[in-house]
Structure 1
Amino acid sequence: MFNLFKKSGVSATKNRDWGFVKTDIHSHILPGIDDGAQTLEESLALIDSMYRHGYRKMIATPHSSEDIYPNDTKTIIERRDLLRRAVGEKGIDMQIEAAAEYMIDERFVKMVESGEPMLTIHDNRVLVEMSYLLESPYLHNGLFALQTHGYQPILAHPERYNFYHNTPDKYDELKEKGCLFQLNLIAFSGYYGKHVKKVATYLFEKGMYDYVGSDIHHTRHTNALHSVLQSRVMTELTDYPFVNGTLNI
């Protein structure tokens, strides 16, 4: 097992081109739409920090759920366009796109089954999530509905679902059902705790991840991301075939 957080003598990112981090497929940078950035100023601060870390394209993925964040295509695209204008006025050379992080709940299954177009990360890929405490009772119906309507699910941060930590075969089952996995890069900093970091390492070493994202909501996340980007883990990650590298502008 590699040492995920041993500091190198010099910056691990210095003079290196980490191609997979140029495009971030998971972030909460749209202002005032979920538990991420609340104002344009906060959004711009996060984007500026990501630019300084080498990112050049960010796909905003606000929560879309039945109860707390009932965001739809209209609300998300309106905030995306607002943020795009602000980024342009600020002179930050960052491409801003938008999709959604869909909670696998009853509303989501109904949306998919009704034929409502989903916001995608790219092509037919849809980012989905569950509660961290309990597997969604709609999980298998939701995954089946997505695939029968021509979409492929990307499960956000599988390492964070505590109810799978002692049953790793569940990850194999989800992969067999056609689920792609997205790593939260800051899991390797220990930000979410030792158990999440351990599971992230396990999934990485088994080659089960397909995408990597920041899932940034605030500056504490960008600080954790910075610590990962400065660590030896980047040497291990750079050769991993994350799909992100094919999405760069």
Structure 2
Amino acid sequence: MVDLHCHILPGIDDGAQNMSDSLAMAKQAVEEGITTIVATPHYHKTVYENTKPTILSKTNELNEALKTEGINLRILPGQEPRIDGDLLVDLEESKAITLAGSTYLFIEFPSAHVPRYTEKLLYDLQQFGYTPIIVHPERNQEVIEHPEILYHFVNNGALTQVTAASLCGDFGKKIKSFSLQLVEYNLTHFIACDAHNTTKRRFRMQEAFKQVSMKFGTDYEYMFQENAELLIEGKNVYKEMPERIKKKKLFKLF
């Protein structure tokens, strides 16, 4: 199993604080059946300025430690950039980087709103050959209240990634219900852990896939797992035609 979103690199953001934490997370990941992790430290200029050289160095360091400890897990370089109007410039200057050397790129929104320039930025990224992936949209307050926003982005070529813990109900019933709706209406394309540690923000992949399989069938489970594999291979992922979430159903679930 491939996990695309994890804060496992030691000492560079709010995830693993040292190598000991990273190795503990790695052991937990293997127990979940994960064989490959794309390490995605935050890139937020005013808080975490984790640029390409730092991420590549830390990735190599962790892979060496895993080899020494005999932990059968592979770490690939990635990043979780906070949305920024200069993101294209940051990509050109190797400050922002894609996932596992592919053309797929994570984008994180603020938790409460969606910036007004988002539509133009997503369009521009695609014009330059990138495929933007909006991470954990199910935890964005404006998207929850106005899911039409996300439909519009996905309909115009953006992809999204839902957090495993959201599907498990760890962030509450409302976010779990909305996450399941994103699956139902073809508004998400990846499930990833977004793990930060082995306690409160841990790996929940097996349970998340169980939730998806129970509600939508094993085909959905396999699709999400295969999409993660296709991404790290730099191939096109599976995506169905997005649909608008019906408000009456949204209110019923909430």
Same fold (TM over 0.5): yes
Is 1:121 matched up with 2:99? yes
Which residue is equivalent to 1:165?
A: 144
Kept after mapping to 1: 8 A contact 2:6/2:41:
yes
SS of corresponding position for 1:220: coil
The Cα of 1:221 is off from its aligned counterpart by 4.6
Change (3 A) 1:231 1:154: closer
Kept after mapping to 2: 8 A contact 1:48/1:92:
yes
Kept after mapping to 2: 8 A contact 1:155/1:179:
yes
Which residue is equivalent to 2:127?
A: 148
Q: Distance in 1 between matches of 2:59 and 2:104?
A: 19
Q: Deviation digits for residues 102-134 of structure 1, max 9, x if unmatched?
A: 11124424324xx33552225311111111112
Q: Distance in 1 between matches of 2:181 and 2:116?
A: 26
SS of corresponding position for 1:239: helix
Change (3 A) 1:82 1:224: closer
Kept after mapping to 2: 8 A contact 1:30/1:83:
yes
SS of corresponding position for 1:55: coil
Is 1:65 matched up with 2:44? yes
Kept after mapping to 2: 8 A contact 1:37/1:218:
yes
Q: Deviation digits for residues 114-156 of structure 1, max 9, x if unmatched?
A: x335522253111111111121244223212311211010111
Q: Distance in 2 between matches of 1:52 and 1:27?
A: 15
Q: Larger RCO: Structure 1 or Structure 2 (Cα < 8 Å, ≥ 6 residues apart)?
A: 1
Residue identity opposite 1:116 in structure 2: E
Which residue is equivalent to 1:32?
A: 11
Is 1:190 matched up with 2:169? yes
Is 1:174 matched up with 2:153? yes
TM-score, normalising length: structure 2: 0.81
Q: Distance in 1 between matches of 2:217 and 2:39?
A: 23
Which residue is equivalent to 2:20?
A: 41
Partner of residue 134 from structure 1, selected from 97, 113, 119:
113
Query: What do you get for the CA RMSD once the two structures are aligned?
Result: 2.2
Question: Which blocks of at least 5 consecutive residues in structure 2 are unaligned?
Answer: 234-254
The Cα of 1:222 is off from its aligned counterpart by 5.8
Change (3 A) 1:234 1:50: farther
Q: Distance in 1 between matches of 2:37 and 2:9?
A: 11
Change (3 A) 1:80 1:248: closer
Kept after mapping to 1: 8 A contact 2:99/2:232:
no
Change (3 A) 1:141 1:232: closer
SS of corresponding position for 1:196: helix
Residue identity opposite 2:228 in structure 1: N
Is 1:88 matched up with 2:67? yes
Which residue is equivalent to 1:244?
A: 228
Kept after mapping to 2: 8 A contact 1:109/1:141:
no
Change (3 A) 1:231 1:210: closer
